[in-house]
Chains A and B, each alone.
Chain A
């Protein structure tokens, strides 16, 4: 019994790492630009499918991760430059138009995925053994993916808080006008941020496809899942997102163990709606900062 509970808890925490990386990109973009990118989940899926293609060319998923992240960075930077940047000046009406644009984009991305990879459910086999820790059995791939995901998310957090360029991004998130007055090119920062957010989605996809099977249309639920994490943690709040990712991971793994996987999918949505309605400011109060 104790072993079962510990296994569920640990597995949940490990999944939390993957969820954190999935959500961090969305969080970063929201924090800086107040944009909710409805295509985020689709970028995750494309990152995963890119890894699949590289895997078929005998590239190890961990080696494929930087490649997927780099490609998605380029895609994201182009999207910001070519599309979303044009909506920045639109003011309050811009929010609605941005949602419409990213809503359309999510269909474009997932169906480009359909054209390139087909509609079948795919996964990448990677480290299929498991590790036995005092009777607690944990899948090897989950351990590795979780460690990489945590490392990636923490690295971005350190970059944001400790480096000059990271501080420039945070300054822009707190006051775009103030940042511009300090001589920062906020246009370039927005392109960098959106690119980086998408790169994190790509990296998350690389890891996730070794854990859960994907198909081109898996993006919508992933967007909701990522949004649940950042809503639970408080939009733009990094520490909150970390806690939220772990909570979501444990909740999902436990529900899946007790009630089956369909119920686990529903738990995400139920949490999602409950949070939106009853605690829109997130777990850690109202401060919304990157």
Chain B
């Protein structure tokens, strides 16, 4: 592996800290200990709040939990400290999994507030359950040299763990959820499970810090176990360094821990006012922190996960083959209904799609086309009727499960991941259905080459022209190797060349048995490739059949009056 400056800096830092830990005086050793402790806390907080985007002001509760479990393990069960350091994080994970499963159903502000409240519950519970507000002493205390040395190792561990995470499939999934949870689901990411994983990991790191804290000072009271100052400092550290970045928590932790030492010594009363003011200032003026500043200058840029794509084309994975007889429908909607209040957006829609069929769905604005897609893909629950996929009712499966089973979709307005490269976007979907790393990489590469995005694999979506962004969304859907591909106005805003590329990619998928259902406003874009067309109006199917016939249907013409008959005539006359 190529030598990188940042790891050199880490090595020098660890060396220096170790020298102080081994040879410095007690005060210096305590500074090393608390700085290293904050490094771990900051990286732990960054996993849920930074990488996964669920801002938590209550992670300190897991620090307190870890500390109290450690006291129990050491005092009551007579465990050595290192056993407590294993037990406490496990206890935190055991709490975090059920708690996270509930709390992470909350979005945005609500999750943040919920965790804010939980952090304060911890204090109340601890005060009333254990030795009360007075605190507890424990008999086993580390020497400053021991605790500082162990803490340095743990801090290095947290750095390496984050590095591995950011370059893994799991880390990629965290970041996808942060950027756009809906789109992550559409890419087949089991978001509920992945969020809980991030939460539990974050909790375990915080709990580990709680154990180390207790072992270091040999005393614990509720106020320091659930300290608001610690919480504020951790949040500020990650914010200053760069939230959600690889090196931000390290920068911030070292900087703010040392600043905290100075403030604590010089301005003990004003410390929180100063730290709080810096938090406000950072949030307003410099939300990306130091990392964003460096990245704007091209430094410390994140390397895309599992990159670069292999140079030579590898044979793609075969499409799924299902045992369906000829003409056997792969997707069926039976009497599908969706009501919003008194309005039925979809009102008893029956649709049958056969394997390898290309079907268009057209209709005026508000006809219920996009809602129909939401119902099929599990993003909305039907008020009535059902969806059958390969003759099996889909039921109320979450959208990510539907995506993995073989119904892929795009969105009417592009939903791409702001911080994921073109390569990672497609890889994310490919790796949802291919557990084997090599197979997922090969498939992602094949699709990028096919839609003509391979040369821009390292770009972020915002650096692509609109047509290419739509192309990327189609590529992401194709990477799920679907049996049914639902395209929601996917070709709007594309150049003729891009449309030709999409057609080629679709033909390949159809050749492998995939059915394509396309909502289109650009009628020619679909008429040329569609076998059949459904026309929707006011939530019901008003016409169905081959495009040439449907576009001459007087009912359809009536529905489209105002859009312009000439367009339809042109289509009916045989495309462009």
Contact = CB atoms under 8 A, between A and B. Distances in A.
Given A99-B109, A269-B120, A277-B103, A104 B280 contact: yes
Nearest to A220: B120
B229 to A, nearest CB: 8
A108 B274 CA distance: 7
A103 B235 CA distance: 9
B106 A280 contact: yes
Interface string B238-276: 010000000000000000000000000000011111011
A251 B236 CA distance: 37
Contacts of A221: 120
Given A269-B117, A273-B118, A100 B235 contact: yes
A26 to B, nearest CB: 11
B114 A83 contact: no
Interface string A99-121: 11101111110111011000000
Interface in B47-84: 53, 55, 57
A163 interface: no
Contact of B273 (A38, A107, A265): A107
A277 B228 contact: no
B105 interface: yes
Contact of A104 (B105, B118, B125, B236): B236
Interface string B93-106: 00000000011011
A93 interface: yes
Contacts of B113: 36, 224, 227, 276
B513 to A, nearest CB: 39
A86 interface: yes
Given A108-B273, A111-B272, A273-B114, A96 B55 contact: yes
A75 interface: no
B239 A277 contact: no
Contact of B280 (A83, A112, A220): A83
Contact of A265 (B124, B269, B275): B124
B278 A99 contact: no
Interface in A26-53: 36, 38
Given A106-B276, A220-B228, A266-B124, A101 B106 contact: no
* Residue of B106, B269, B270, B280 with most partner-chain A CB within 10 A: B280
A141 B165 CA distance: 58
B269 A114 contact: yes
B130 interface: no
A33 B225 CA distance: 35
B55 A99 contact: yes
B323 interface: no
Interface in B18-68: 53, 55, 57
Majority DSSP secondary structure for residues of A touching B: helix
B263 to A, nearest CB: 12
Nearest to B118: A273
A239 to B, nearest CB: 20
Contacts of A276: 106, 110, 113-114
A227 B57 CA distance: 15
B284 A86 contact: yes
Contacts of B103: 277
B277 interface: yes
Contacts of A227: 113, 117
Contacts of A108: 272-273, 276-277, 280
Nearest to A260: B128
Interface residues of B, number: 43
A115 B235 contact: no
Contacts of A179: none
Nearest to A85: B284
Interface string B105-138: 1101110111011101100110110000000000
Given A100-B283, A220-B228, A269-B117, A277 B270 contact: no
Given A36-B113, A224-B116, A97 B284 contact: yes
Contacts of A87: 283-284
A95 B108 contact: yes
B279 A100 contact: yes
A227 B118 CA distance: 13
A276 B114 CA distance: 7
Point out which of B103, B113, B270 has the most chain A C-beta atoms below 10 A from its C-beta: B113
A115 B114 contact: no
A289 B53 CA distance: 28
Contacts of A220: 116, 120, 228
A35 to B, nearest CB: 9
Nearest to B180: A92
Contact of A103 (B57, B124, B273): B57
A93 B418 CA distance: 12
Contacts of B90: none
B232 interface: yes
A277 to B, nearest CB: 5
Interface string A219-243: 0110110010000000000000000
B287 interface: yes
B121 A266 contact: yes
B324 to A, nearest CB: 42
The CB with the most chain B CB atoms within 10 A, among A107, A223, A277, is that of: A107
A103 to B, nearest CB: 6
Contact of A107 (B53, B239, B275): B275
Nearest to A271: B117
A100 B55 CA distance: 9
Contacts of A97: 283-284, 287
B106 A277 contact: yes
A96 B54 CA distance: 9
Contact of A273 (B117, B128, B271): B117
A220 to B, nearest CB: 6
Interface in B517-572: none
B69 to A, nearest CB: 21
B416 to A, nearest CB: 14
Interface string A272-285: 11001100100000
Given A96-B53, A97-B284, 11 more contacts: A103-B279, A105-B276, A111-B271, A111-B276, A114-B269, A224-B116, A265-B124, A266-B121, A266-B124, A276-B106, A280-B110
24 contacts: A38-B57, A86-B285, A90-B287, A96-B55, A97-B287, A99-B55, A101-B279, A104-B275, A104-B276, A104-B280, A106-B276, A220-B116, A220-B228, A223-B116, A224-B113, A224-B116, A224-B117, A227-B117, A266-B121, A266-B124, A269-B124, A273-B117, A277-B106, A277-B114
- Identify the 10 closest CB pairs spanning chains A and B, nearest first: A104-B279, A107-B276, A108-B276, A101-B283, A100-B283, A111-B272, A104-B280, A111-B273, A104-B276, A224-B117
